[in-house]
């Protein structure tokens, strides 16, 4: 049997559940979640609920559930120690022949807390018992919503966090599509930068994408943004298309 | 009802089916494919079968099927005229109140033929009847296979085609993760470039990823590559991680 037809006993799966809508996860993700003995749902210390858990609610049928609260701060030590504890739990359950799924919003391969858990597990389990299942990332769902492809033909795409505005400015000249994650804290500086480069009309923002009743869309970006634009916002800037 | 619970009559959907495995498409994609009146499957003029069609085979239950053969060449006029014909077909069926789904390998937002069909449809249908559904792109499935995240924390990712080697060389200095699509024709030049930059050990290649019995994995890349590495190969180069 493939490792992905159902969650196998003694195996761990880091599973992307997409941006938030319960129908934007893959069939593979759904099967693993439905058949897991234990589901670990990451929850930021600043959130009241796990976004990943909300996305998989229709698939929960009595599996054991553990919320793993992780620190929402740029602190390597706190981050690694939080995930070391989670890894101890996962490894001990796998030794007891349980199947364990960690769900994660978006894609576990793209700016995900799964990276730390998987890294910590590599010291505790055989690599062939650790699996990753990709999920739809916010930029894909955002581009679908806007009806505008991220890339065609020769285009170059840069994906980066909006942490350092000077790096964002450099990137504007290095690609045709610039995707910025974790935009919230730098939003005002970013809007000023895009304005300076005459790119506001080519820039779009989404927040709480595909999350029922919470989605905020700003298209194009203007100097006056709604107050409910949060940390997890995604901005897509189209700087052009490459000739082909 | 949401436009995505089932394919609505008079509506068009460009639906990503992921890299090839029948369980790597989203629940949304599966529902739309199952309920569509007409399914359009793109097939390259150089292929014997539509990869997208192979991925959705378990979902076919009598829906009408049209293969759209598109030219596998860098010719804007031939490409656009091929998709204008497909758009005429889609628009006429939608006028007859049918629901139409175009399936596409990977993600319709990332280097996809869907971009041309959607562009041509914008002249023929109301935009609110044109929908895009994201899919897992090759880089996500490749990173999952390797168990190595594409990005963490401050990392920058560049995604680009490997068409111009001098541009690939520039990009190596502008990101922590470089993802190259459509690598086939430039493979020898690319290997020489990575060798010159001492990056072969940090570079991986996959071809026919998640396609039953055809998957080729080269990890790390070496100077002697297997002969069956084809046009649609994906290469991931890790140039480092950014401090945070």
Per-residue pLDDT tens over the stretch A36-57: 999 999 988 777 788 999 999 9
Specify whether the CB–CB gap between A114 and A122 falls below 8 A.
no
| Contact yes or no for A163 and B154 at CB 8 A | yes
Q: And the tokens for B145?
A: 């296979």
Which of B:38-57 have CB within 8 Å of A?
none
In sequence order, which residues have a C-beta less than 8 Å from that of residue A174 and are 6 or more positions away?
A: A156, A158, B158, B170, B171, B174
CA B134 to chain A, closest CA, distance in angstroms equals 6
Kindly report the number of other CB atoms within 10 A of residue A217's CB atom. Answer: 14
Reply yes or no on domain B138-238 having CATH 3.10.20.90. Answer: no
| Contact yes or no for B18 and A25 at CB 8 A | no
Specify whether the CB–CB gap between A25 and A55 falls below 8 A.
yes
| Contact yes or no for B118 and A153 at CB 8 A | no
For residue A130, which residues of chain B lie inside 8 Å, CB to CB? 147
Least CB–CB distance from A147: residue in B127, B156, B159: B127
For residue A25, which residues of chain B lie inside 8 Å, CB to CB? 26-27
Q: Which residue has the higher pLDDT, A77 or B104?
A: B104
Give the pLDDT confidence score for residue B244 in this predicted structure: 65
In what helix (H) or strand (E) does residue B193 lie, and over which residues does it extend?
helix B187-196
Specify whether the CB–CB gap between B216 and B208 falls below 8 A.
yes
Q: And the tokens for A4?
A: 């992905």
Nearest CA in chain A to B15: A144
pLDDT at B75 over 90: no
Which of B:143-202 have CB within 8 Å of A?
143-144, 147, 149-161, 163-164, 167, 170-171, 174-175
Does B84 contact A at CB distance below 8 Å? no
For residue B23, which residues of chain A lie inside 8 Å, CB to CB? 4, 26-28, 31
Specify whether the CB–CB gap between B102 and B42 falls below 8 A.
yes
Give the pLDDT confidence score for residue A244 in this predicted structure: 65
The answer to whether domain A12-133 and domain A138-238 are alike in fold is no
Q: Which residue has the higher pLDDT, B69 or A74?
A: B69
Task: Express as a percent the part of chain A with pLDDT over 70.
Answer: 99
Annotated domain spans of chain B: 12-133, 138-238
Please write the tens of the pLDDT for every residue from B169-193: 999 999 999 999 999 888 999 999 9
Please write the tens of the pLDDT for every residue from A192-225: 999 999 999 999 999 999 888 889 999 999 998 8
Least confident of A131-135, A172-176, B142-146, B212-216: B212-216
Q: And the tokens for A48?
A: 């009241």
Least confident of A58-72, A143-157, A196-210: A58-72
How many angstroms separate the CA atoms of B9 and A65, rounded? 40
Structure-token match 């599996």, residue found: A63
Does A58 contact B at CB distance below 8 Å? no
Kindly report the number of other CB atoms within 10 A of residue B19's CB atom. Answer: 31
Give the pLDDT confidence score for residue B50 in this predicted structure: 87
The ipTM (two decimal places) reads 0.96
Structural class in CATH, domain A12-133: alpha beta
Per the document, the length of chain A is 244
Letter string b/e over residues A134-170, b meaning 16 or more CB atoms within 10 A of that residue's CB? bbbbbbbbbbbbbbbbbbbbbbbbbbbbbbeeebbee
Q: How, if at all, do strands B177-181 and A177-181 pair? A: unpaired
Give the pLDDT confidence score for residue B60 in this predicted structure: 96
């Amino acid at each position: 049997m493939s490792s992905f037809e159902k969650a196998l006993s003694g195996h761990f799966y880091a599973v992307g559940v997409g941006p938030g809508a319960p129908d934007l996860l893959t069939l593979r993700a759904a099967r693993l979640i439905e058949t897991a003995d234990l589901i670990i749902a990451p929850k930021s210390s600043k959130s009241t609920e796990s976004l990943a858990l909300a996305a998989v609610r229709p698939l929960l049928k009595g599996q054991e559930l553990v919320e793993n609260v992780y620190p929402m701060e740029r602190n390597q030590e706190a981050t690694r120690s939080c995930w070391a504890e989670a890894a101890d739990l996962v490894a001990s359950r796998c030794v007891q022949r349980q199947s364990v799924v960690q769900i994660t919003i978006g894609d576990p391969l793209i700016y995900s807390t799964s990276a730390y858990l998987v890294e910590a597990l590599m010291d505790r389990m055989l690599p062939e018992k650790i699996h990753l299942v990709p999920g739809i990332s916010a930029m894909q769902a955002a581009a679908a919503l806007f009806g505008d492809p991220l890339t065609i033909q020769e285009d170059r795409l840069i994906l980066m966090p909006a942490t350092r505005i000077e790096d964002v400015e450099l990137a504007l000249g290095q690609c045709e599509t610039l995707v910025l994650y974790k935009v919230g804290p730098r939003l005002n500086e970013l809007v000023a930068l895009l304005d300076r480069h005459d790119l506001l009309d080519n820039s779009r923002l989404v927040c709480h994408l595909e999350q029922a009743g919470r989605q905020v869309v700003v298209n194009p970006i203007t100097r006056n943004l709604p107050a409910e634009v949060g940390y997890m916002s995604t901005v897509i800037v189209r700087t052009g298309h490459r000739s082909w």
